[in-house]
Amino acid sequence: MSSAAGKKTPLYQKHVRLGARMVPFGGWLMPVQYTSIVDEHQTVRNAVGIFDISHMGQFIVSGNGARDWLNAMLTNNVAKLDVGQGQYTFLLNDNGGVIDDLILYRIGEAEFLLVVNASKIEEDFAWLESHLKKERSRPGGLGAAASPCQLKNRSADFGGVAIQGPRVVDLFHDLLGQNVELPARNHVIDFVIAEMPVSIARTGYTGEDGVEVFFRASDAAKFWNLVLERGAKFGTKPCGLGARDTLRLEMCYPLNGSDLSADRNPIEAGLGFFVDLEKPNFTGREKSLETKTNGARERLIAFKMNGKGPPPRPHYSLFSGENRVGEISSGTLSPSLNIGIGMGYVSAASAKIGTPLEVEIRGQKFPATIEKKPLYKKQS
């Protein structure tokens, strides 16, 4: 692996010292695994895993016009957010295609935090900035005099980790004290841990209970060490992008660039829940409404292989009988289910749950079935 292939997070040295295999991802050098993807996957399903997410971007939007401006830029309804609450949302292009999927937190009365994908930091920021400029100069727009909002890219200032798994509450009670309550699902609260100011958000990308924690980049190594040290008794282990991918795919959470792209809209991806068409105006609304009204031509489905066989992978063709009906966008062997799983876009006529499909792998066809999302459900 060439080290010229990517930027390094503040935890890079930690990963190398732990023996991680480093790979380029979204312009960054990230750990794909420390020991084994399957082990790390099971650690998150059964104990606690800690992932470096410092590569992700953080933008701050603040000012009296922030809420209304963000509501015009993003698909979900910003007006529904209380202070301390977050929501999953999309940044769309003019054709309704996905530029990025992100989490928006309202961190003050008129202050918002956007957590965006690593590979999209520059593109998202340029898009938002160009629209803010347009807004300032538009007659009757927010205007420079009418408290326009400020947009700042703070990505380099923050490090972050995702801490995920059924024992995460035990771990944080140990760190914060038994009586301290963690934020509710999709909420964020600021704490101080070992003199480090941190923002803890109850969210994740694994399907397990968990948090994402953001801190000053200069505190990253200290926080990482603290969690591994204090978390050892709860089975906490470092986990890489490999396990992050198998965990999120079992839950059918989309990965931008694979399951989402600039020429697909969230309605086709089955994520209309996060697109508020009641809002009178936001970028990409027309196309989203049109797709919703007329029905999508293709839809993102989840499938399971019917039996043992080679794992399904991105770009393999999907067949219904003799007809090629689409292709796989994400696929892997599910460590929890021990069978091949995936998602892919198929023509709407072949997208019903229960539809038999065939996956073409090296010229041979293997049977699969369209399943309800998520593919993995926690046994309780």
Partner 1 sequence: MNVPEDLLYTKSHEWIRREGENIRVGITDHAQAELTDVVFVELPKVGASVEAKAPVAVVESVKAASDIYAPVKGTVVEANEALTNNPALINSDPFGEGWIFALKIDNADDLKNLQSAAAYKDQIET
DSSP bridge pairs for 101 = 90
Say whether residue 343 binds partner 1 (CB under 8 A).
no
With binding defined as CB under 8 A, does residue 330 bind partner 1?
A: no
359 beta partners: 318, 366
Contact between 246 and partner 1 by CB under 8 A: the answer reads: yes
Spatial CB neighbours of 179, under 8 Å, sequence gap ≥ 6? none
Please pick, from the candidates 29, 118, 333, 341, the single residue that binds partner 1 as defined by CB under 8 A: 333
CB of 16 to partner 1, least distance (A): 16
Q: Which is nearer to partner 1, 33 or 117 (CB)?
A: 33
Which residue is associated with the tokens 């505190």? 219
The answer to whether residue 43 forms part of the interface with partner 1 (CB under 8 A) is no
313 makes contact with partner 1 (CB under 8 A): yes
Interacting span for partner 1 (CB under 8 A) from 65-73, 293-301, 304-312, 345-353: 304-312
| 17 vs 362 by CB, closer to partner 1 | 362
Work out which of 141, 166, 309, 374 binds partner 1, going by CB under 8 A.
309
Q: Cα–chain-centroid distance for residue 104? A: 12
**Amino acid at site 342:** G
Q: According to the binding rule CB under 8 A, does residue 37 interact with partner 1?
A: yes
Q: In the bound complex, what is the minimum distance in angstroms from residue 361's beta carbon to partner 1?
A: 9
CB of 215 to partner 1, least distance (A): 30
CB 107 within 8 A of CB 84: yes
Rule CB under 8 A: choose which of 97, 242, 266, 342 binds partner 1: 242
59: which strand partners?
114, 153
335 lines the binding site for partner 1 (CB under 8 A): yes
Say how far apart CA 15 and CA 13 lie, in whole Å.
5
Whether the Cβ atoms of residue 209 and residue 203 lie closer than 8 Å to each other: no
- The nearest distance, CB 325 to partner 1, in angstroms, is 23
Sign of the alpha-carbon torsion through 360, 366, 369, 374: negative
| φ, ψ dihedrals at 22, nearest 5° | -95, 135
Residues in a beta bridge with 317: 327
The SS3 call for residue 61 is strand
Among 63, 141, 311, 356, binds partner 1 (CB under 8 A): 311
Per the DSSP assignment, residues forming a β-bridge with 24 are: 29
Tell me the backbone φ, ψ of residue 355, rounded to 5 degrees. -65, 130
Q: Of 310 and 374, which has the nearer Cβ to partner 1?
A: 310
Handedness of CA 35, 40, 46, 50 (dihedral sign): positive
Q: Which is nearer to partner 1, 133 or 365 (CB)?
A: 365
**Of 10 and 331, which has the nearer Cβ to partner 1?**
331
Nearer to partner 1, 38 or 277 (CB): 38
Give me the residues that bind partner 1 (CB under 8 A), please.
21, 32-33, 36-38, 242, 246, 308-311, 313, 332-333, 335, 362
